[in-house]
Amino acid sequence: MKDPARHPLVVGSGIAGLYVALRLRELGLRPTVVTKARLEESNTRYAQGGIAAAIGPDDSRSLHFEDTVRAGDGLVDRSAARVLTWDAPARIADLVRLGVPFDTEEGRIALGREAAHSRARILHAGGDATGLSIEETLRHRALDAGIDLLERRVLRSLAPAGRDGVGATLATPEGRGIEILDPRPVVLATGGAGALYRQSSNPSIATGEGVAIAFRAGALLSDMEFIQFHPTAFYREGAPRFLISEALRGEGAVLRNDAGDRFLVAEHKDAELAPRDVVARAIEREITRGGHPNVYLDATEIPRDRLYARFPSVCRFLLAYGLDPSRDRIPVAPVAHYMIGGVATDLEGRSSLRGLYAAGEVAATGVHGANRLASNSLLEGLVFGERVARQLLHPAPGGPAAPGRLIEVPPGRGSGRPEEPDSVDEVRHRLWEEVGIVRTADGLRSALEAFERLGDSVEPARKEALPGPVANAALTASLIARAALARTESRGAHYRSDWPRPRPAWQRHIGIRSLPSERPPR
């Protein structure tokens, strides 16, 4: 390869990875996309609600900006929010150009309402199949453009190489076919870590190893304590935790407890359209108080035709479980949904390591603060993906700002006992129980100890002794727990019953980095 700088590696095939790759190709570079499962499998595919942009006649980018800042509970990076909301209409125009069939009403793109948005500004496609529709369109365009798209290739490690970029090791999911790539620009678009929680809306591949691998290589992480819980996933013993989109509440569905009462009216002036963390915690309280494992979403006031036309996937799913949402209340409970923190980047997606970029859910630009506004996540993948692509065309030095508080910890050497795959169940259980919607110092400490013990394991039968899936899961989980333990307050998605209020001294981001002296040799 003559010039590795023109052959970037993009890791991940959700909205951020595919969009970055397409834009790189359009700008004349030759990216390769690797993805650990099948190309179409990513969190993007499951996004129902839609994508936010101020394109309505009564809306403005300033209003979208203000809503984003308000939802973020004092921690939003205002310049990132400005970029997100200002660039949104142009990125939507790109999606239309690429062929995304957004739903229309009377000849215009239809706009829905979601919690904490002051205007109807959520674009959707196929009713509630927005993510699927975007993913399919981008995947087809990437195939049309002849981009190298490699399935079942897992990123195993990263090694910074200064000006030349970053070296990457790839393998199959089974740990075979190890491939060591020459240093080049690497774009992490590996998504979030929701599947590390026992109750999650995410597909099983969302295990956060992008964060673990970047951390071991020395990249600065930020905001790891902020995991967003979605208030309403379908609840039935043994059934998948299928997301019941917030957009149903935007259309008028209400939440009721076991006794049939609307408990959110007394909780917040916006009731069911209050910020997500408020709704999730109120449901959790109701569940704990009533001893019933779920509450109910009541969509029976939405006209039947509208309900079925606007939410075909949700209705299909519920019918398969014998529920007709136009007549029956839907049993729901909160789930882990979105990783707000991740690899710290600046507004061009540059991490603290030269040549390593991040975009989408794995990146932490500060744009979501302590609590992401609904439907800003697909948008983030596009807006910051575009900026990463442009940066790769004309690279310049840069990187994230120093965090308000920096924690330095040993990276976990992956040199201990062999991994036991069942240990991931312990990670998932402890994250949900001890690093979940309501946290305490005792629970966080006990979880952190367990994650550190598991994080030192290595994949058996692998002489390279690279940390495997258990070590990565445990490391990511330990970083979430460690940041949550450090943040002695409650803010946005992070709630501690021992520190139940926000504290002005904590209006700052927590960065985490591995101790330089303990990083694996390059």
Task: Write out the catalytic residue numbers.
Answer: 276
Binding range to ligand SIN, per CB under 6 A, among 209-217, 245-253, 284-292, 435-443: 245-253
Q: Quick one: which of 247, 364, 389, 470 contacts ligand SIN (CB under 6 A)?
A: 247
**49 touching ligand SIN, by CB under 6 A:** yes
Give the nearer residue to ligand SIN in terms of CB position, either 373 or 473: 373
E strand residue ranges, 189-284: 221-222, 227-234, 254-256
Shortest Å distance, C-beta 44 to ligand SIN: 11
Which residues 6+ apart lie within 8 Å of 15 measured at CB?
A: 42, 44, 131, 134, 135, 138, 360, 378, 381, 382, 385
441-454 and 423-434 helices cross at what angle (nearest 10)? 160
Shortest Å distance, C-beta 245 to ligand SIN: 3
Residue at token pair 């490391």: 475
Give the nearer residue to ligand SIN in terms of CB position, either 24 or 332: 332
Full 3-state SS string of 73-121: CCCCCHHHHHHHHHHHHHHHHHHHHHCCCECEECCEECEECCCCCCCCC
Distance, in Å, from the CA atom of 328 to the CA atom of 308, rounded to the nearest integer, reads 14
From the number of C-beta atoms within 10 Å of its C-beta (0-12, 13-18, 19+), residue 21 rates as buried
**Phi/psi at 129 (5° precision):** -115, 40
Which residues 6+ apart lie within 8 Å of 243 measured at CB?
A: 46, 48, 201, 230, 232, 233, 234, 335, 337
Give the nearer residue to ligand SIN in terms of CB position, either 375 or 514: 375
DSSP letters, 320-362, are: HTT--TTTSPEEEEEEEEEE--EEE--TT-B-SSTTEEE-GGG
**Phi/psi at 49 (5° precision):** -50, -60
Q: What type of residue sits at position 380? A: E
Binding range to ligand SIN, per CB under 6 A, among 12-20, 28-36, 138-146, 371-379: 371-379
Which residues 6+ apart lie within 8 Å of 2 measured at CB?
A: none
One symbol per residue from 182 to 201: x for binding ligand SIN (CB under 6 A), - otherwise; what is it? Answer: --------------------
Distance, in Å, from the CA atom of 201 to the CA atom of 235, rounded to the nearest integer, reads 11
* Alpha-carbon distances, residue 272 vs 299, 359, 469 (angstroms): 12, 31, 38
From the number of C-beta atoms within 10 Å of its C-beta (0-12, 13-18, 19+), residue 116 rates as buried
**68 touching ligand SIN, by CB under 6 A:** no
Give the nearer residue to ligand SIN in terms of CB position, either 128 or 348: 128
Shortest Å distance, C-beta 187 to ligand SIN: 22
Binding range to ligand SIN, per CB under 6 A, among 83-91, 244-252, 341-349, 503-511: 244-252
Taking CB atoms, the residue at the shortest distance from ligand SIN is 49
**313 touching ligand SIN, by CB under 6 A:** no
Shortest Å distance, C-beta 342 to ligand SIN: 16
**246 touching ligand SIN, by CB under 6 A:** yes
**377 touching ligand SIN, by CB under 6 A:** yes
Q: Quick one: which of 68, 375, 457, 472 contacts ligand SIN (CB under 6 A)?
A: 375
Shortest Å distance, C-beta 48 to ligand SIN: 4
Q: Quick one: which of 245, 257, 352, 365 contacts ligand SIN (CB under 6 A)?
A: 245
Give the nearer residue to ligand SIN in terms of CB position, either 31 or 385: 385
* Alpha-carbon distances, residue 275 vs 71, 115, 320, 374, 482 (angstroms): 6, 6, 30, 9, 25
**374 touching ligand SIN, by CB under 6 A:** yes
**41 touching ligand SIN, by CB under 6 A:** no
Give the nearer residue to ligand SIN in terms of CB position, either 186 or 340: 340
Binding range to ligand SIN, per CB under 6 A, among 238-246, 301-309, 342-350, 434-442: 238-246
Shortest Å distance, C-beta 243 to ligand SIN: 6
Shortest Å distance, C-beta 396 to ligand SIN: 32
Give the nearer residue to ligand SIN in terms of CB position, either 275 or 411: 275
**Number of residues near ligand SIN (by CB under 6 A):** 9
Binding range to ligand SIN, per CB under 6 A, among 14-22, 181-189, 243-251, 432-440: 243-251
Shortest Å distance, C-beta 246 to ligand SIN: 3
* Dihedral sign (CA 17, 20, 25, 30): negative
Binding footprint of ligand SIN on the chain (CB under 6 A) = 48-49, 243, 245-247, 374-375, 377
